[in-house]
Structure 1
Amino acid sequence: MSHSKRELHLNLFVSPMGHHEAAWRHPDADVDQLLDFSFYKRLAAKAEAAKLDSLFFADRVSTSPGAVKYGAVGGYEPLTLLAALAVMTRRIGLIATVSTSFNEPFNLARRFASLDHLSGGRAGWNMITSGTDSEANNFNLERIPEHAERYERAREFVDVAVQLWDSWEDDALIRDKTSGIYADSRKVHELNHKGKYFSVKGPLNISRSPQGRPVLVQAGSSEDGRQFAAEYAEAIFTAQQTFEEARSFYRDIKARAERFGRDPQHVVVLPGICPIIGRTEEEAQEKEAQLAELINPEYSLIMLSNRVGVDLTGYPLDGPLPHIPLAEVRGHKSRTHLIAELAQRENLTLRELLRRLAGGRGHRTVAGTPRQIADMLEQWHAEGAADGFNIMPQLMAGGLEDFLDLVVPELQRRGLFRTEYSGVTLRDHYGLPYPESRFRQELSFGQK
């Protein structure tokens, strides 16, 4: 199979047990490792030894008694965990999910600048707006705000955060003991921002970090999400079920970015792939079937109901997915659309749909040999559907090692993936430029 000369990117989307919702019930899963820091240290070391671009941690700021009854949910807050992993690793990127709906720009900008300093320039921020009432209920809200309003707030939030990261210019620090000058005050800037959602004076109380600002990552694929991503995101995590859908999304997001005056090559598109790997195709399928046998339909319905914002628990499992009016969805519009389209396209019953979604919540699941997995990644990469992939092992126990030990070397043999890191920052790994401060002044210290 022919391929392009550019290298692909590989992130590890960390889910401690695995991305299959029943992974924690598998005989090989260690149910104690959810809060076992030694597990995360070992995982990070393995991913870094394989030269992956980054570790990525999702986050959700709510749970429920029904969810915890059947699912291994709840774990570390991502920024806290990544701060600890920053000192255990040297090169691999560290991407944390933090919501714009339930935070303030100053606190967030300070935490990410701190992580970027601690890690020597490896921080990334997955910018989400959150999408469920249960999360809103934990932050003084009865309901999650409307979709468009969440993105309006997110735009102002990100704009303010970027200004805060830029509020110290690169050469603001003088640190001259003789003169007694620590910083050039002309190169440390107040924002004096007063907007619809935020009022922030600034400057940030930590100097400019090694990357200038963390890599900005986004994961929404709705119309609002695509526009937001095209304007701000430097890496995009997306869920696509078919090659054709992935290529269409890829072309669309690159074109939108270009319309914003951005270089499309500086917008890295990374679909989620949920692999199960066997020495033979039959072995991989047997592993997948074993996980499927562990599914609890009651729990699956709770998870699907949360995802689409409609209570599905009373519907017959052997009937079709009920109609979901997408125009009325307040939460995760793009994922709801993907799920509804999948059910309709393949004429799935609710039970069959739950089985399909269990392995990756709408991301593409694939079972096969290392060569078959590599073939698929190569095709998507070479034929304009992806710049790389967010790797989401359905079962972390053994599944991560299978990917790192079997698929990554196959990709390296094909010249598709690095054998050594060529840079030290996450921007280096993604081939992204260093961003200049918006406040950059040509006047050097001491000039009148």
Structure 2
Amino acid sequence: MSRQMKLGAFLMATGHHVAAWRHPDVPANAGLDIRHYRHLAQVAEAARFDALFVADSVAAPTGDIASHMARSDHFEPLTLLCALSAVTEHIGLIATATTTYNEPYHVARKFASLDHLSGGRAGWNLVTSDAAAEAQNFGRDQHLGHAERYSRAREFHQVVTGLWDSWADDAFIRDKASGRYYEPSGLHVLNHQGEHFSVKGPLNVARSPQGQPVVVQAGSSETGRDLAAQTAEVVFTAQTSLRNAQAFYRDLKARLADYGRSEDSLKIMPGVFIVVDESAERAWEKFEAFQALVEPQVGVALLGRMLGNFDLSGYPLDGPLPELPLTDSGQRSRQLLLTELAGQEQLTLAQLGRRIAGGRGHYSLVGTPTQIADELQVWFEQGAADGFNVLVPHLPGGLEDVARLLVPELQRRGLFRTEYEGSTLRENLGLQRPANRFQFKQS
């Protein structure tokens, strides 16, 4: 079979457009409606998406501008995905959990449990937190700096994956006749002592169906790329042009050799914001209906958040993006991307805020199934992507449009599966099941 692209459905309550919740076709309470998410999961699975992806923040945006956004109430991702595992059979379930405001044992235990509950469909999106407001919910006055967050993340990953290998695959023999529940030789006590963590182990969850849940990352800074090359199996990234996406793809794939990894061991899936309809005119009308709902101050507030938690409210809306210091608390890669976009297109502050109201800096496509499939095929076949993390302006309608119109066109071209390859997320992504690093042998 020829190479086929991977697709993730990036779910964000009412949709990715910052004004989606105001549209009459969107349930405003979607963030806390399990029926809404159940429908989304089943739509994506019927379309043979590889995975659902749910992002997270452990702080609620507050203030007057935040009160105009549907971003302050939503399910905790792991809790949500555990519920969705019971109403799906094949689709992967990827949740964000920050290494900055969690402990490794908690994360290892929860994702191993989700992998068991789902029959091998769990993925952990490892992030370092780019929302400075999270610090004050965890006993800190200041958010950790960029370098320290990544140092902590590297060790955090080491501990979590070590805990996932606490038990041999066949350690739990549960032999009623002999009275032995597990084979002692199949147990490893981690005894980790490091700069940031001291964790004895073992994990109190058996080794999971995938061996280890799939590790996902989204960092595109220099430090983030190096961490991804060492540890990630899927990378989500924001790229706005084919040339930049190709350069990112080449760079990240080339780094894998430094860690003894093959190019196939890492799937790169840029985010793509999609508005699709039978005609280009209707697709643009649909998109503009959401754009018309964007309040300028809301767009600028979103922009300040995406640039690295900067307050831009004191700058004129019709003026240029001000020169900002390199963020130490947010996403440096996203800051550089948006600053470059503003300069290239000479956008005012309000225009830039409106520009990112939907895709938040991701590659954006509005058009017919043929037009959008043409673009995705170029990126996929010309060394820019192994697949895409799909963002839509509104839910459920935007995802239904992609499933109904775009996916069949990709399948017609042989670019996307018509049936799942296996029962686990690893099998469907084409990733190897990792061997237990300790390679236990029963006595």
Shorter-chain TM range is over 0.9
Contact 1:276 1:395 in 2 (8 A): no
Structure-to-structure mapping, 1:152-231, within 5 angstroms: 152-231=151-230
SS of corresponding position for 1:127: strand
SS of corresponding position for 2:13: coil
**1:342 equivalent in structure 2:** 341
**1:319 equivalent in structure 2:** 319
**2:250 equivalent in structure 1:** 251
* In structure 2, distance between residues paired with 1:320 and 1:215: 41
Amino acid across the alignment from 1:320: P
* In structure 2, distance between residues paired with 1:201 and 1:5: 45
* In structure 2, distance between residues paired with 1:70 and 1:278: 28
Alpha-carbon offset, residue 18 of structure 1: 1.1
Decide which of 20, 34, 37 is 2:34's aligned counterpart.
Answer: 37
Amino acid across the alignment from 1:150: R
Alpha-carbon offset, residue 438 of structure 1: 1.2
* In structure 2, distance between residues paired with 1:301 and 1:346: 17
SS of corresponding position for 1:182: coil
**1:55 equivalent in structure 2:** 52
- Pair 1:20-2:17 in alignment: yes
**2:69 equivalent in structure 1:** 71
**1:356 equivalent in structure 2:** 355
Contact 2:218 2:237 in 1 (8 A): yes
**2:442 equivalent in structure 1:** 444
Q: Provide TM-score, normalisation by structure 2.
A: 0.97
Alpha-carbon offset, residue 144 of structure 1: 1.1
Contact 2:13 2:74 in 1 (8 A): no
**1:123 equivalent in structure 2:** 122
- Pair 1:419-2:418 in alignment: yes
Structure 1 residue ranges (4+ consecutive) displaced by more than 4 angstroms after TM superposition: none
Amino acid across the alignment from 1:120: G
Per-residue displacement from partner, 1:123-175 (whole Å, max 9, x unpaired)? 00000000222111111111111101100000110000000000101121111
Structure-to-structure mapping, 1:378-393, within 5 angstroms: 378-393=377-392
SS of corresponding position for 1:412: helix
* In structure 2, distance between residues paired with 1:142 and 1:324: 22
Amino acid across the alignment from 2:248: F
**1:111 equivalent in structure 2:** 110
Contact 2:317 2:349 in 1 (8 A): yes
Per-residue displacement from partner, 1:210-263 (whole Å, max 9, x unpaired)? 001100000010011000101000000000011111111011110011221101
* In structure 2, distance between residues paired with 1:397 and 1:40: 9
* In structure 2, distance between residues paired with 1:132 and 1:61: 8
Alpha-carbon offset, residue 34 of structure 1: 2.1
Contact 1:144 1:331 in 2 (8 A): no
- Pair 1:135-2:134 in alignment: yes
* In structure 1, distance between residues paired with 2:361 and 2:168: 42
Per-residue displacement from partner, 1:273-300 (whole Å, max 9, x unpaired)? 1111122112111111111110011122
- Show structure 2 runs of 5+ residues with no match: none
RMSD over aligned Cα, in angstroms? 1.2
Contact 1:145 1:330 in 2 (8 A): yes
* In structure 2, distance between residues paired with 1:33 and 1:191: 41
Amino acid across the alignment from 1:72: A
Amino acid across the alignment from 1:430: L
Q: Provide TM-score, normalisation by structure 1.
A: 0.96
Greater Cα shift, 234-243 or 394-403: 394-403
SS of corresponding position for 1:65: coil
Per-residue displacement from partner, 1:391-424 (whole Å, max 9, x unpaired)? 1011224211110011000000000101011100
Amino acid across the alignment from 1:24: W
* In structure 2, distance between residues paired with 1:165 and 1:35: 31
Count, aligned residues: 440
- Show structure 1 runs of 5+ residues with no match: none
Amino acid across the alignment from 1:310: F
